[in-house]
Chain A
C-alpha cells in the first residue's frame, strides 16, 4: 500500500476515533451517569426534546464535562499542530513548541503573577486579578518568542540555527527568573507554581472554551494548510526558495502562530508537556513525514491524546485529581527516551 493511501486511511481512522473519544470523555467521570441520560441532556439543551433528568446530572454534563472535553480537544490539537510545525520549520524531529522560548516565557509570566501578583495587581479590577496568571503567561510566552525571533533575524532573513541558540539562552534566563521567584515565594505560592507547571484542565468554563475556540481553531486551520510549504522546506531553505516559496514570510507566520497557539493553551491550562513533541512523531512513524497528512493528523491525535490523559487524570485518584502534565509526561517520557535511543547514533 502506498504512503498516500496509508495517510488517507490514517486521517479517516482519526476522524472516526475523535468523536468516539469525545463521547467517552463526556460519559466518563466520578459521578456515574447512564448513557441514555447523557443523550437526553444533550438533546434537551439543543431544544430537541423535553426531559426530566435530575438537575445535578445535567449540571455535571453541561458545566463540568462538556467544557472540559472541548477545552482538552482544542488545547491538545493546538499543542500538537504547533509541535509539528516547529519540527518542520527547524527540520529537527526533536523540536517542540518550547524551542522558540514560548513555554519558558509563559511559565515565567505565570510565576510572576503567582508570586508578585499581589503587588502588581493591587489596584486592578477583580476580573483582571482573577485572570492575572493567564494574562501574564500569554504575554510572557509571546514576548520571549518575539525576542528569540528578533535575535535570530538580520537583514539577510531569519537564521534557524541562531534562533535555536537564542531559545536556549531565553530558556536559561527564564529558568533563572523562576529560580528567583521560587526563592522569594512562600509555601502557598510554591505549591501553586508547582501545580501550574503540571497543568490541568480543571479550570474549564464556557467562557474559557469560547475564548480558546475563537483564538485557536483558526490557528489550527491555518497551520494545517502549511503542509506543502513544510514539505518543500524539508529539502532545505534555498531549495524551497527556488520552488517559489517566500521562506522568510513562512518562518514569521509559523513562529507567530505557534506562539499564539502555545501562549493561549498554556494560559488556560498551565504547562502541559510532551503533547507537542510526541504526537507528530507517532504520526511520522505511522505514515512518514508528508506534512499534508502530518499536520491535520497531529491536530486530531493531539486532541484525542489529551482527552485520554484528562480522563485518566480525573478518574484515577477520585475524588482528587491528578495534574494532567503528570499523565502526559508518563505517557510521553518513555517514548521520548526510546526515540533518543534509536537516534543516538545520528545525534552524536
Chain B
C-alpha cells in the first residue's frame, strides 16, 4: 500500500507546488493576505509597516505591539505544526531562517501557503534587509523606506554621540548586558547575541564580546576585571518586577563595578532582543546612547 502511495503523492505534491507554491508572493494581492508571523522582529516590522491588520497568528516570541497578545499562538518557531497553521487558513507564513521543522515548511508550501524565511543576523544591515524584503512582499515599499530612514537616523545619531565621546576621552563606554533568570546565576551577553548587537548599535563597547560567544555565567573576579561603566538588563515592560535596585541585590558584585558605584544600571525591554532585532532598534539604541554618553538615567524602550 505504501509503495503505491509514494509516487502518487510525489506527483500530487509536485502539481500543488506548481499551482499553489508561491502564488501569493507572485501575484501580490497585498491587502487581503492572512499572515502568520514567526519571530518577534518580523512581527514588529509587519506592524510598523502598517500591515498588522493582516496578521492572524504569531509565535511565542512575538509580544510587541501589545495587540498581538490577542492572537492565536503558534508555539516555538522551530517546532511549528503544519496542520495547526493550515487550520487558520493563512496565505503567507513569514519568519526567519530559524523556522522549522523543514517537513512542516514543505507541507505548508505544498498546501499553497507562501513561505518567506528572512535571513537573521544581529546587524543594522540585517534589519534593513528584513524591512525592505517585507515591504516588498507586503507592497508597502514607501512605508518601508520611511521606516528604515527613521531607524537609520537614530542609529547615526547614536554613533555620532559615541564618536564625539571617543574624541574627548579616547575610549568608548564599556557596557555589559546582564541576563537574570529567577534565582539562577546571572549570565553576561558575549559576542553573537542580540544584546551585544544593541550595545554596539548604541555606540557602546562590550568588553565581554572579546572573551566568549553567547551567554556565560561569570565569576565575581572576571566581572570586576570587565569593569563595566554601564550595565543594561532586561526589565521595563518585559519584566516589570525587575528593578535596578533588585538586580544589584541579586548580584552584589555589581555594586563593586564602576556602573554599580555610580548607579548607572539601565533596564531595557528584553522582548525586543528575542527573535531578531526589529523596528524599535533605532529608538532603543538612541536612548541607550543617551544613557551611555549623556547619562540620562533610564531610557524607556517604548517611545515610538
Contacts and interface: CB of A to CB of B under 8 A. Distances in A.
Interface in B191-228: 192-193, 213-215
Contacts of B1: 46
Interface in B72-109: 72-76, 78-79, 81-88, 98, 101-104, 106-107
A63 B5 CA distance: 10
Q: In this complex, which of A195, A203, A318 has the most chain B Cβ atoms within 10 angstroms of its Cβ?
A: A318
Interface stretch (A54-62, A86-94, A253-261, A290-298): A54-62
Interface stretch (B8-16, B230-238, B252-260, B277-285): B8-16
Interface in A25-73: 29-31, 45-47, 55-56, 58-60, 62-65, 70
B75 A317 contact: yes
A64 B101 CA distance: 13
B103 A60 contact: no
A143 interface: no
B9 A62 contact: yes
B112 interface: yes
A90 B2 CA distance: 37
A213 interface: yes
A70 to B, nearest CB: 8
Contact of B101 (A29, A55, A202, A209): A202
Interface in A167-203: 185-188, 191-192, 195, 200, 202-203
Majority secondary structure, A binding face: helix
A63 B8 CA distance: 11
A186 B190 CA distance: 10
A327 interface: no
Given A186-B192, A192-B78, A206 B88 contact: no
A206 B76 contact: no
A261 B282 CA distance: 53
Q: In this complex, which of A62, A202, A323 has the most chain B Cβ atoms within 10 angstroms of its Cβ?
A: A202
Given A318-B81, A320-B75, A206 B101 contact: no
B245 to A, nearest CB: 27
A204 interface: yes
Contacts of B98: 188
Contact of A186 (B75, B86, B101, B213): B213
B111 interface: yes
Interface in B100-127: 101-104, 106-107, 110-112
A64 B107 CA distance: 7
Contacts of B103: 202-205
Q: In this complex, which of A45, A130, A321 has the most chain B Cβ atoms within 10 angstroms of its Cβ?
A: A321
B267 to A, nearest CB: 20
Given A29-B83, A318-B81, A321-B79, A62 B5 contact: yes
A195 B78 CA distance: 9
Given A62-B9, A319-B57, A321-B84, A47 B73 contact: no
A314 interface: yes
A209 B110 CA distance: 19
B86 A56 contact: yes
B67 interface: no
Nearest to A322: B75
Interface residues of B, number: 43
Interface in B249-269: none
A209 B4 contact: no
A319 B84 contact: yes
B140 to A, nearest CB: 26
Contacts of A64: 82-83, 107
B278 to A, nearest CB: 17
B91 to A, nearest CB: 12
Nearest to B215: A187
Contact of A210 (B2, B16, B73, B107): B2
Contact of A59 (B73, B84, B107, B213): B107
A318 B73 CA distance: 8
A318 B83 CA distance: 9
A70 B1 CA distance: 12
A34 to B, nearest CB: 15
Contacts of B16: 55, 59
B76 A30 contact: no
A321 B5 contact: no
10 contacts: A31-B87, A59-B110, A62-B5, A62-B9, A191-B78, A206-B5, A209-B2, A319-B57, A319-B84, A321-B81
Interface of B: 1-2, 4-6, 8-9, 12-13, 16, 20, 57, 60, 72-76, 78-79, 81-88, 98, 101-104, 106-107, 110-112, 192-193, 213-215
A-B pairs with lowest CB-CB distance, top 6: A320-B75, A319-B84, A30-B87, A186-B214, A321-B81, A31-B87
Interface of A: 29-31, 45-47, 55-56, 58-60, 62-65, 70, 130, 185-188, 191-192, 195, 200, 202-206, 209-210, 213, 314, 317-321, 323
